[in-house]
Structures are given as C-alpha cells and as structure tokens.
Chains A and B, each alone.
Chain A
Amino acid sequence: MPDILGWLLDPINWSGPEGIPSRLIEHLQICLLAVGTATAIGLPVGLYVGHTGRFAGLAINLANIGRAVPSYALMVGILPIALNLAPSVGYDPDLGLTFLPLFLAMTLLAIPPILVATYAGLREVDRDLIEAGRGMGLTERQILGRLEVPLAVPVIIGGFRTSTLQVIATATIGAILSFGGLGRFIIDGLANKDDAMLFAGAVLVTVLALLVDAVLAVVQRVLTPRALRGKPAPRRPSDDDDEDRIDPAMFGVRTVDVSA
C-alpha cells in the first residue's frame, strides 16, 4: 500500500512551482477556460434550439460526437496541427504543444452536456405557459428570458455541473504533452514508479471534482425557483419528436421527492 497520506502531508509537496497549490491552480485555470468557452458556445446554441425547437436532432447528434470522440486521441491528433499553424498564425509553438491541444479537446468535451441540458431544460417548460406569454404580447426574447430560462435554470446548471466534472477528471491527460495541472502527479508518478505520487494525484483530482461539484450543487439549488423545488416534474404532452426528448433527471436535477 503506497504511502499516499505521507506524500500528501509532506510539506515539500506543497511548495514551489511543482507543488500541489501551483498544480491545482494550473488545473483550475484550464478547466475554467474550457468550460467557459464551452458555455459561450453551447449555451446560445442550446437556447436557440431549445426555444425554437429547430435543428434539435442535428444539434444533439453533433453534441454526441463531442462525447464519443476519445479525448486523448483528439488531443494528440490536434498537436501536429497546432504546431504547424504556429508560425503562420503567429503564436509561440510552445503554446501549440502545452496548451492548445488540451484546451481544444477539453472544450469539445465540455460542450455536449451544456448544450443538451439547455435544450432539455427549455423543452420541459410548459407549452401553455409560453402560449400565454405570447398572448400577453411578450416578444420571443422576453419569453425566453423571463419565462423559459428561469424555469430551466436548474437543468441548465445541472448540465454545467456534468460538464465541469468531466473536464476536471479528464484534464489530467494534458500532462502527457507537458502541461502541468494535477495530471502531472499522475504521469510523473507513473513514469518514476512512484505509486504514492500517482495515487495521491488521483485522490487530489477526485477531491477537487467533488468539491467543485458540491459547490455547484448548492448554486443549483439556490438558483432553482422556489416553486419548482421538490415538486414532481410535470410531464406534458409536447408536440416535438419524442426520440429527442432528454430527461432533466440526467443532470442531477431531483425534481421529485423520493421518500415514497
């Protein structure tokens, strides 16, 4: 049994550019960037598709590609392209090695949960409510902003949670291309046959992911409109294609009281 606790308690491992705090920050930085970019892409698309119902099949299938493509292969496949583009686009080839492949692979990984959750959340909103809004003279944008989104917020944040969890867990592969982050402990531990470092790294990743997830769970609950908390999700007959109906429960939204 490797001395994981010993490794974690050793003050040497907490100092310097190769210590736990620096690696933690590097890890959080790339995760934030990737999830942020994914949100900037996935949220608007999800809002559009969810509100209008158009292109739902296409959007979801494209999103599934992001899930199905193996991140490691994507990252290592992007590497030569990122390196070759450096001189013409004008960035340091070092970025093409350590940052771009990981960033792009993680962003692609992070988009599907956000996009799909946004779409699903919007679809769950009662159609009658939207019709009523139109009847009252609200513009489409107002309907989206004042009716649909607030009601869909718990599901959307659920997607955000899933996305963040996946990125935190997977960003460890960046260490293969010399990126830092918590993956550094795992890869270096493996290379140096230092089991304590290896498993300590895994533990750190897990703990980080759970902490962030717990924080986001609180955010999710806080932002859920009080009216929706703890009530069964109403199942409405909707006129869109059933096969693309995605259940909000997938994103950790517990809209039902389980104490039956």
Chain B
Amino acid sequence: MRRPDMRMNRLFALAAAMVVVLAACSSSGTTPAPSAASAAPSAAASEAASAAPSSAAPSEAAKAEVRIGSDNFYESKLMAELYAQALEHAGYTVTRQFGLGSRQTRVPIFTKGLVDLVPEYVGSGLGYYDKTLVTGDGEANRTALQAQYDKADNLATVLAIAPGQDTNAAVVRQDTAASLNLTKMSDLAAVQDKLKWGLPPDCDKNPLCKDALESYGIKYPPKVRRALAACDAPIAQALQGKAIDFAWLCSTQPAIAQFGFKVLDDDKKTQPAENLAPVVRNDYLAKVDKAAFSAVLDAVSAKMTTDELTKLGVKVGVDNEDLEDVAKQWLTDNGLLS
C-alpha cells in the first residue's frame, strides 16, 4: 500500500523541483551572441556602471556597460552587432539583447530603460510618434525625432545619421515591368486595374501607403488587393510566384537581387528618408564621455551607405553567413577595428 504513495510523492517533488530549477535558469534573459569572437580587450568597466557620472576626460572608468537592443529582423540585428563590436573594440563592455520584437514592443522596452542603445530608422521612428511630421529628408527626420525625445522628458539622443537607408520600395517583376512599360511609380496609374496589389494590412491608415498611392493617381482601394505584410518572405514569394504583381518591399532586401525584381522609382518622393541612426538613452550618456562614445558610433554610421547595407543583406540573406562574422569583416574592411 505504501509504494504507490511514495511514488506519487516523488513525482510531485520532482515536478516542483523542476519548476524551481527551470525558473532560476530562465531568469537571466541575456543571450550574448553565440560565436562573437571579439578581439578587443574588455575593460573592467562594470563597476563603473554604478559610479557617479564623470564629466572629466575619458578614462577606463567612464566606459560603462552598455546594453544594446534590436528589432527581430536581420538588418536591425546587423546594425546593433556593428555598434556592439565597434564599442567593444573601443573598450566598452556590451550586453546584447537582440530580437526585441517589432518597433511596437521594442519602443516600450527602450523607454522603460531595459536597454540603452538601439538602431533606429529615422523616418519610421518619427512616424511611430507622429506620422504627419515624416519627410523625405533624413536630417530633418532626425531633428524631428530628437524633438520627440526631448518632449518625453529628455529621454534619449539621436546620434548622427548614416547615409544608408532602408526605405519602402515599390517592386514589380521584370516581366511585368517589361510588358507594361513600368520604370517609375507614376507609370502605375495607367495600368492599375491590370495588377494584383500586395499591400500591408495597415495600408488604409498609413499615409505612406494609401496617401502615397493616391498621389500617384491610383484609386484606393485597388480592384484586386491582397493583404500581406511588407518586406516579409511571404510577400516576396507571392510576387515571385505571380500571386501578386505589385509588392511593397524594403529597399535593401536581398530578395530583390535574388529574384531579380524591378524597383520602381519613387519620382514624387512619397516615401520617407529612412536613414539609420543609433538612439541612446540620456541616462546612459551621462555615465560616459559623450563625445568619445558618439565618435565610435559616428565612425560606423559615416561608412554605412545604402549600397553597403544591400551588400551586407545579401551576405546574410543569400549566402547565409553569420551576422557576427559579416559585421566583423565589414568593420575590418573599413578600418574601424584597427
């Protein structure tokens, strides 16, 4: 009579123990990049994190540990990895918290102070707060975004923008472009009813989608429309498989090169400037030498053109190389790790 009794007790004890152990194991959410082979000596800067902010000349103690976040797609992670390796090379300790979902989830995490630095696209970043302020000028967007952060209790600083952008691209297949004579978006109005349009589900409420299309003379909503998220794999595949004839993709997306799509010229400049820029919390900047810190990131930004972004995208997306390796190679090639 006793044996089943003891077995049940053991079962419960085991279950309880497992819960406790697993809860403990999972309490640390940081996953440093698996094969990061950083050659930089890392300064013992973690004590500095609790030290008082120093406005003196840069010293080892002023390189506080920085937590870098990113969105959950390759380009954001790539930029974050570039920032991370550049900062590590300059002597900062970096904690990586990549893949924080989409902007909707990442912004609250940044605002709550769970990460210190994130890469941001100045157009969409500004549009998150106020869609009406977004322009086609990168520097203007940056200034406006900075104003948003200033309004929010001086939350963060938007550092210098990179020339490189990843903006929305209106894309068709080569055969469509050839048969309907399409080179720029203005050409679309004449043939709009012949196309199956792949538009994101938020197009109705998104001025960059609906208003932009209407400014090109396209009646909204188009006759045949499929709701597919922009820039994702499914919409690229749907375009390639001829289920749709028009798709919104991202300008540096590897699929464009892979499938040989044609990007239509945005001749009316409806799409925003989406230059990349690092956004860093001011309470973190207060702990370090702001000029030195910004200089490291500005150096990375200065060399990041749209061409470079696209090339790196192909390496990650088509050649399936690891982000860490691609980042390290690029930094080395551009003399940023010497």
Contact = CB atoms under 8 A, between A and B. Distances in A.
Interface stretch (A27-35, A89-97, A112-120): A89-97
B238 interface: yes
Interface in B163-203: 196, 198, 200-202
B234 interface: yes
Interface in A163-222: 175-178, 184, 187-188, 190-193
B47 interface: no
B243 A97 contact: yes
B202 A191 contact: yes
A94 B196 contact: yes
Contacts of B242: 83, 86, 93
Contacts of A76: 233-234
Which one of A84, A94, A184 has the highest number of Cβ atoms from chain B below 10 Å of its Cβ? A94
A188 to B, nearest CB: 5
B104 interface: yes
A192 B201 contact: yes
Contacts of B237: 79-80, 83
A94 B243 CA distance: 4
A19 to B, nearest CB: 15
Contact of B227 (A84, A86, A96, A175): A175
Nearest to A178: B226
Interface residues of A, number: 22
Given A177-B234, A178-B227, A83 B241 contact: yes
B228 interface: yes
B204 A192 contact: yes
A93 B202 contact: no
Nearest to A180: B227
Contacts of B233: 76
A86 B240 CA distance: 12
B78 interface: no
Contacts of A188: 201-202, 227
A97 B241 contact: yes
B201 A98 contact: no
Interface in B34-68: none
Nearest to A193: B104
Interface in B211-235: 226-229, 233-234
Contact of A93 (B201, B204, B234, B243): B243
B205 interface: yes
A98 B238 CA distance: 10
Nearest to A190: B201
B243 A96 contact: yes
Contacts of A98: 226, 243
A83 B202 contact: no
A177 B237 CA distance: 11
Most buried by A among B226, B241, B242: B241
Contacts of A193: 104
A188 B233 CA distance: 18
Contacts of A176: 229, 234
B243 A83 contact: yes
A79 B204 CA distance: 26
B244 interface: yes
A211 to B, nearest CB: 27
B201 A97 contact: no
Interface of B: 104, 196, 198, 200-202, 204-205, 226-229, 233-234, 237-238, 240-244
Interface of A: 76, 79-80, 83-84, 86, 93-94, 96-98, 175-178, 184, 187-188, 190-193
10 contacts: A76-B234, A80-B241, A86-B241, A86-B242, A86-B243, A93-B243, A94-B226, A97-B234, A177-B238, A192-B205
